[in-house]
Structures are given as structure tokens and as C-alpha cells.
Amino acid sequence: MEITTNDIEIYFGENQILKGIDINISNKQFIGIIGPNGSGKSTLLKCIYRILKPSSGIVKIDSKSIHELTMKETAKKMGVVAQHNYHNFDFSVQDMVLMGRTPHKRALERDNEEDYKIMYNALEKVGMIDFAKRNFNSLSGGEQQRIILARALAQETESLILDEPTNHLDIKYQLQLLDIVKSLNIEVVSAIHDLNIAAMYCDKIYVMKNGKIVAYGTPQEVLTEKLIKDVYEVD
């Protein structure tokens, strides 16, 4: 599948936050988005997963505007792990993950054996199988993040949209989770804070600064001392 953005612009009041963004996610690549805090990474991803509507420009999935897709169709195409905290879901962990199955079901259809199998499998993958019966609200930030990723895995989507998905995790779990994501062999786009992680996992990296893409290429091409110091304004 292919996700493209075409000349995306977005304003919040007078402030232009995204300026002519063109990106392409295809060929089962793991695409990273890096850049300083406030450069617009989350805003761009929100345009892709339809939380925000750009002021102008278009987001397409397989050459079709995302706004022509129903929410259910969108949910079959992309799984999302957003950046903000999730602490206000009064559901058990297993019910949170089972929600990932919704796009594959008819309205009011109950979870079947297959759904439970997929749910347990997803919890196993993120190392949270022992937490299945816990209340989601009782988990730490990092644990919640792993459950949200499990939900995205249970969704069995064609792509994943991740916004700093491993920020609250120990290195071990950061690597473990990204290994899982990588092994899915689907299109992935992820905002990434840690440049070492970006170097390890990304096929291509977009570098953002002040709402623009200022560089694009392989980690080797992009993660040069000069470019990084320039983008992060290190003297």
C-alpha cells in the first residue's frame, strides 16, 4: 500500500504549523520522522490518521483521498499509536486490545475465538500477557503504550502510524517493540525522538524543522553531524 501527502498545509489561528509537506510511505518501508520538539511531527501524523484536517493539501491512501474512506475502511488500512497519554479508558487490558478487532467485524458482532487468539498473541508480543485482566487505567505510561501497540497489532492493518511509540520504555522494550513492528513487514511511519533508534530501524528518514521537510534520505545520508547540529540548532 502507499500513503502520500500532497502539499499539506495547516494553520492553527494565524500560525502556520505545516508548510507544503510532501511525503511518501510505500514499499513496506519503515519511514522515520525526526526533528526538534514543536517542528510539526505529531501534527503531520494527525493529518495522516485523520484527527486533523489540513487547511489545504491532500492525504491519499493508494491514490484515494483518505476523506473518501469510511472510518472502518481507514481502520483496516492503518493502526495508530498516538503520542499523548491514554490514562482515561475504564476498560480491561484485554478489552482494549480486542477493540483492535472492530474494523474486521459487523456492528454488534461478538468477539469470537479467533479474536481472542489474536488478542492474546498481540499481548504476548508486547510482553504484557500477564496484564490481560488488569484495568487499563491502573497501568504505568509505558505499560499503557505497549497495550496501545498491542491493539494496533490486533487490528492487523496494512500500515502503522506511530508517534514516538517507545518514549516511556526501557531500552530493552524499545528494541523489542520496534523489532516486532519491523518484522510485520508492512508500511510504517513513525515519529522518533531518539536518533540512534532512527538509525537502527528506518529505511528512510524525513527531517522536519519549523513545519517543513528539510531533508530526506537513508539514515546514513541524513544523520550527519552537520545536518543534525543544524536542525537541532547546536552551535
Residues that bind ligand ADP (CB under 6 A): 12, 17, 35, 37-43
Does position 42 bind Mg ion by CB under 5 A? yes
- Sole window of 40-48, 57-65, 143-151, 226-234 interacting with Mg ion (rule: CB under 5 A): 40-48
Query: Closest approach of Cβ 38 to ligand ADP, in Å?
Result: 4
Find residue 209's DSSP bridge partners: 212
**Cβ(76)–Cβ(104) below 8 Å:** yes
Query: Closest approach of Cβ 50 to Mg ion, in Å?
Result: 17
* Separation CA 102–CA 91 (nearest Å): 15
Nearer to ligand ADP, 122 or 189 (CB): 189
From the list ligand ADP, Mg ion, none, which binds 43 (C-beta under 5 to 8 Å, kind-based)?
Answer: ligand ADP
From the list ligand ADP, Mg ion, none, which binds 17 (C-beta under 5 to 8 Å, kind-based)?
Answer: ligand ADP
What type of residue is 51? I
- Sole window of 1-9, 33-41, 98-106, 154-162 interacting with Mg ion (rule: CB under 5 A): 33-41
From the list Mg ion, ligand ADP, none, which binds 39 (C-beta under 5 to 8 Å, kind-based)?
Answer: ligand ADP
Does position 190 bind Mg ion by CB under 5 A? no
Beta strand spans in the chain (E): 3-12, 15-25, 30-34, 56-61, 64-65, 78-81, 159-163, 187-191, 204-209, 212-217
Q: Identify the CA nearest to 95 among candidates 110, 81, 78.
A: 110
SS3 of residue 135 by DSSP: strand
Query: Closest approach of Cβ 36 to ligand ADP, in Å?
Result: 7
From the list ligand ADP, Mg ion, none, which binds 12 (C-beta under 5 to 8 Å, kind-based)?
Answer: ligand ADP
**Cβ(100)–Cβ(151) below 8 Å:** yes
Query: Closest approach of Cβ 171 to Mg ion, in Å?
Result: 21
* Separation CA 136–CA 86 (nearest Å): 9
**Cβ(79)–Cβ(158) below 8 Å:** no
From the list ligand ADP, Mg ion, none, which binds 157 (C-beta under 5 to 8 Å, kind-based)?
Answer: none
